[in-house]
Structure 1
């Protein structure tokens, strides 16, 4: 049996390298334990990032996950292992011992419908509020697990974890490749997770850290001023849950330098991603990029209207009031009134002061 387990371990390792043979390896594990299905699954709160089960249709798995979402109040198997360290084996007796959750009946009905009510399981990796689990599921024909089945399963589990670690290492190489591509963009860009842990950064981002405009503490992205840092970390957490779109923050700092515009977007997840990566791009628009960011900054920081911001920037670029009125198809009196409102919002009293301030801040 030891030789067979080692051979299966090699099969899992090759699955990690190839990336397309995980279901075959899970099927071999199921056969070795006399079970119908092998499962490798990831859990985070309210989400199941991946769920691989051999010989079940993907739409069946998707429907199952849609109903239970890895919720320990529904999924009795998750509940049974929730507080466990890695490699603790749980099986049918533990499923019955966890008590009754509000959704357990639903889970049992689903398990009966898919004929996967029995089996055993363990955690392969765990961290924070997430874990990767390994299971075998048994049909009514297979029967419940016995001590020999659980012993074989326990012997296989460390080999599967080694394969998972290989897969994660290979996926993390993708971050390095992405960083190399982003260097060509010439922008300060951080690649991080939803908690702010920095996985990679461009040279321009390193320069921001050196200047003190951003900071990194224990590898986590931060800002010098607490209010800005809280806003940034909250935006990262929000964007982690939103696969589409960009969230833009204005980092105001101490008010002595032009605020920074920070765009946060979530990178597309790989279809089978072991490290739960919801990698986020934090793109800082500053310096030579102020031209495109300036209207956003003026509206957000000073409360200018779209028209007021456009007129202020046109003045800073050297346009006259007549030029601005003609370009906007409005009268000089309208431009004058909008400038007066702008002066009050920005805190200056004359046009020359506004032009001087914007010229210095925006380096126009």
Structure 2
């Protein structure tokens, strides 16, 4: 029942992941369902791509916490060796379909209790679940599952190819940064490293580590800041421009700036769910942080960085103007820009902020 055009679309989506949403929505409608979910699941957690027909419902399902007790995914994973599609009624008894909270309180009221899903191998340790959602009845889902089984070999090959191409793109991205001497890595939304270049790997020895698969800083206070930034990334509550923080080495010296740059757009897409690029910038760091490090941390212009460092040394705007042969008005304007970029409102606050970057680490363990 599936024509060559649909099969061709599936393989096109393998090479052009942006096509998957349209292809899977079309497939669901052809089968009499509302839409499809494509789920990447692995050690780092779960990433979901939803087609238009089920996107709002899937978001509500996640927001209301039903995914925490999602027996559909768990039981499908348990039967991962099954070479075909399985339905909700294959994975649950009729009593469970009537009483389990995810069905009684959400799926059934949303007419989404009858679906058909299959599990295929992704890249590395990841698995990919294709779930066709919202059939009119459990009988209709079982009929559709038998039909979808004939299409599954094409879907499995195309999905696996997409997953492999995704990993190659991530590796290529950090590799390109290495060509310009930038230490970089890509992490997913929960902090798991998905790709990193050799320069980043070298820095891992004395600045960073992995715990339970997630990126962590060796210095405790720096680690707290890094975890907070990653948690903000995961919750979508962080600074949309990312975050920058100093990294201390084992001797307590802040010689590097870590920049976390969120990847926007399809942030939770099954094939583009990388959460952020991590870039490490190194610079000299005397007792008052150097202008290069200050500039790297707060995205300052060279002139703004010089003003900020001078304030940390205790100089007034007039003193700074004299040192750099500039007018006091120009220095005050630059200082306002520094305040805006660093989030402080007074020179004393700026001095305290920059003092936190001094080495060795303060007694209270500030990063």
TM-score normalised by structure 1 residue count: 0.61
Report if aligned partners of 2:186, 2:274 keep a CA contact under 8 Å in 1.
no
Report if aligned partners of 2:87, 2:116 keep a CA contact under 8 Å in 1.
yes
Please say if 1:82 is aligned against 2:74: yes
Report if aligned partners of 1:42, 1:48 keep a CA contact under 8 Å in 2.
yes
Match of 2:273 among 257, 277, 291: 277
> 2:365 matched to which residue of 1?
none
Please say if 1:104 is aligned against 2:101: no
Deviations 1:199-244 (A, max 9, x none): 333454344346x344568986444445544543443233233372
Higher CA-based Rg: 1
Pairs within 5 Å for 1:135-154: 135=132, 137-139=134-136, 144-146=140-142, 149-154=144-149
- C-alpha displacement of 1:168: 1.4
- C-alpha displacement of 1:170: 1.7
Please say if 1:264 is aligned against 2:260: yes
Looking at structure 2, the residues matched to 297 and 28 of structure 1 have their Cα atoms a distance apart, in angstroms, of 48
CA separation of 1:187/1:22 partners in 2, compared to 1, >3 Å: closer, same or farther? closer
Provide the secondary structure at the position in 2 that maps to 1:208. Answer: helix
Report if aligned partners of 2:120, 2:127 keep a CA contact under 8 Å in 1.
no
Q: How many residues are paired up? A: 312
Pairs within 5 Å for 1:201-280: 201-202=196-197, 204-209=199-204, 212-215=206-209, 221-229=215-223, 231-242=225-236, 244-270=240-266, 273-275=269-271, 277-280=273-276
| Structure 2: unaligned runs, 5 residues or longer | 299-305, 332-346, 361-367
Looking at structure 1, the residues matched to 193 and 47 of structure 2 have their Cα atoms a distance apart, in angstroms, of 24
| Structure 1: unaligned runs, 5 residues or longer | 53-57, 299-305, 331-337, 348-353, 358-364
Looking at structure 1, the residues matched to 325 and 261 of structure 2 have their Cα atoms a distance apart, in angstroms, of 37
Provide the secondary structure at the position in 1 that maps to 2:274. Answer: coil
Please say if 1:165 is aligned against 2:160: yes
> 1:50 matched to which residue of 2?
49
> 1:133 matched to which residue of 2?
130
- C-alpha displacement of 1:5: 10
- C-alpha displacement of 1:30: 6.4
Looking at structure 1, the residues matched to 275 and 150 of structure 2 have their Cα atoms a distance apart, in angstroms, of 34
> 1:73 matched to which residue of 2?
66
Report if aligned partners of 1:48, 1:70 keep a CA contact under 8 Å in 2.
no
- C-alpha displacement of 1:268: 2.3
- C-alpha displacement of 1:258: 3.4
Report if aligned partners of 2:28, 2:132 keep a CA contact under 8 Å in 1.
no
- C-alpha displacement of 1:166: 0.8
Please say if 1:177 is aligned against 2:177: no
> 2:334 matched to which residue of 1?
none
- C-alpha displacement of 1:72: 6.5
Report if aligned partners of 1:11, 1:25 keep a CA contact under 8 Å in 2.
no
Looking at structure 1, the residues matched to 321 and 15 of structure 2 have their Cα atoms a distance apart, in angstroms, of 65
- C-alpha displacement of 1:277: 1.9
Deviations 1:40-81 (A, max 9, x none): 4327899873112xxxxx3x53432343237563899x5434
> 1:191 matched to which residue of 2?
186
Provide the secondary structure at the position in 2 that maps to 1:239. Answer: helix
Please say if 1:64 is aligned against 2:57: yes
